[in-house]
Amino acid sequence: MSEPSLIRPNVGRMVPYSPGKPIEEVRRELGLERIVKLASNENPLGPSPKAVEAIREAAAQLHLYPDASGHDLVQAIAAKHAVAPSQVVLGNGSDELIHLLGLITLAGPGDRLVMGHPSFVRYEAAAQIADAALVHVPVDADFRLDLNAMAKACDERTKLVFVANPNNPTGTIVRESELRAFLADLPETTLAVLDEAYFEFAADEPGFPNGLDFLREGHRVFVMRTFSKAYGLAGIRIGYGFGSNAVVDAIHRAREPFNVNSLAQAAAIAALGDDEHLQRTLSVNREGMARIEAMLRDLGGRCSRSFANFVYADMGRPVEGLFQGLLRRGVIIRAGRPMGGPNALRITIGTPEEVSILEEALVGLAW
């Protein structure tokens, strides 16, 4: 038996995740010194200094396995959000939690996963690796998730429906009243996964829902958050989720032991306590958002109303030339199919200096 024949056919149909170009790769390919990465929704201010210091202190214990239960971090998260520790679960980034949700709920072609399109592409992988049916529901004319259509797409075979709020890559939100009506329309067999990776950027918007309120009320939801975005800890992969005791217990049974490393646990606890750094992040984001939206509108782009840390735009024509032109000038963005189509792009908000470099790179750029 040849090795390819050992691989399940559905795995062969999966498309590997395509991340934003790393800075070092662009430096090698183009020989540039000044490179700005505005592709992966990272925090341009970096991590909290308190988190960095916590990592330094924890590094002396790297010969020891991490706390497999993540006790101290779970307790800190539970206290901050007023939930029971038994309802908190940690992950090696939110990506791992998405993968684990698929493992514990999807059992093959008879099961379905429903998601918006475009939305976070890793939801697709949860369905594909289980060989379950994947249903895409297009966003509406304002780039918002169409919750009415998504609810209608769910039937008794639908085990998971993903609602990214704010949505990635469009940055748009659904409001509390819309989400409440959506949850009421779901079949009893369906778990709604509320992906709130960008929660901190939208939390102050009137009418923006907190998924934890629905969990407390007893709705069938699993809420995901992360330390990768507003908290600036993308490099050490730390996400977390909130769910019913039954769902959290199932994830613990399925996850790898020691799935969250000790440096990540220490840094996350410190980051949770640094509200000053978080507020600086939100301030820089608001300023940069307005500037980048204005640039793209001047180029003829139609921007979504983003509540995340990036700008999404339909430029009305293919953007590959724009992407390549910016790349040659040392600015990395995200564009094309992963963003929803050949005319779409997404640009992460950078520091004021990085936004100025983007503005300079766009001047006179032909595409």
C-alpha to C-alpha distance for 102 and 127, rounded to whole angstroms = 7
For 142-158, the pLDDT digits (tens) are: 999 999 999 999 999 99
| pLDDT (tens digit per residue) in 255-300 | 999 999 999 999 999 999 999 999 999 999 999 999 999 999 999 9
Query: Are the CB atoms for 336 and 319 separated by under 8 Å?
Result: yes
Q: Is the pLDDT of residue 220 over 70?
A: yes
pLDDT digits (tens, 9 = 90+) for 159-210: 999 999 999 999 999 999 999 999 999 999 999 999 999 999 999 999 999 9
Residue 310: pLDDT over 70: yes
pLDDT band at 105 (very low <50, low <70, confident <90, very high): very high
What pLDDT was estimated at residue 337? Answer: 87
Radius of gyration of the chain, Cα coordinates, nearest whole angstrom: 21
Contacts of 179 (CB under 8 A, 6+ apart): 147, 163, 165, 194, 209, 214
Q: Which residues of 252-283 are buried (b: 16+ CB within 10 A; e: fewer)?
A: eeebeeebbbbbbbbbbbbbbebeebbeebee
For residue 214, the SS3 value is helix
Closest-CA residue to 195 (of 223, 231, 232, 230) = 223
Q: With contact defined as beta carbons under 8 Å apart, do 311 and 140 qualify?
A: no
The answer to whether residue 88 scores a pLDDT higher than 80 is: yes
pLDDT of residue 49 exceeding 80: yes
Q: What is the pLDDT of residue 90?
A: 98
Residue 298 structure tokens: 């001047």
Strands 112-117 and 133-138: parallel
Read off φ and ψ for residue 110, nearest 5 degrees: -75, -10
Closest CA relative to residue 311, chosen from 180, 201, 182, 171: 171
Q: What is the mean pLDDT of residues 315-329?
A: 96
Q: Which of 291, 267, 275, 266 is nearest to 348 (CA)?
A: 291
pLDDT band at residue 364 under the 50/70/90 scheme: confident
Q: What integer is the mean pLDDT of 124-137?
A: 98
User: Residue 57 burial (CB < 10 Å; 0-12/13-18/19+)?
Assistant: exposed
Domains with residue ranges and CATH for the chain? 3-47+276-362 (3.90.1150.10), 49-272 (3.40.640.10)
Report residue 59's pLDDT band, with 50, 70 and 90 as the boundaries.
Answer: very high
pTM: 0.96
Q: For the chain, give the percent of residues with pLDDT over 70.
A: 99
Band of residue 14 on the pLDDT scale cut at 50, 70, 90: confident
Q: Are 170 and 312 in contact (CB under 8 A)?
A: yes
Specify the pLDDT at position 95.
97
Region 28-56: mean pLDDT is 96
Q: How far is CA 356 from CA 10, 222, 248, 295, 329, in A?
A: 45, 39, 44, 11, 13
> Confidence band (pLDDT; 50, 70, 90) for 320?
very high
pLDDT at 4: 67
* pLDDT at residue 1 greater than cutoff 70: no
305 SS3 class? coil
What was the pLDDT predicted at 289?
Answer: 98
pLDDT, position 367: 81
Assess whether the previous peptide bond of 118 is cis (omega < 30° from 0). Answer: yes
Question: Could you give the strand order of the β-sheet that contains 133-138, starting from the edge strand earlier in sequence?
Answer: 88-91, 239-242, 221-226, 191-195, 158-164, 112-117, 133-138
Residue type, 10: N
What pLDDT, on a 0 to 100 scale, did the predictor assign at position 2?
62
Residue 287 has a pLDDT of: 98
Residues 6+ apart with CB under 8 A from 223: 194, 196, 211, 212, 214, 215, 241, 242, 243
Q: Name the average pLDDT for the chain.
A: 96
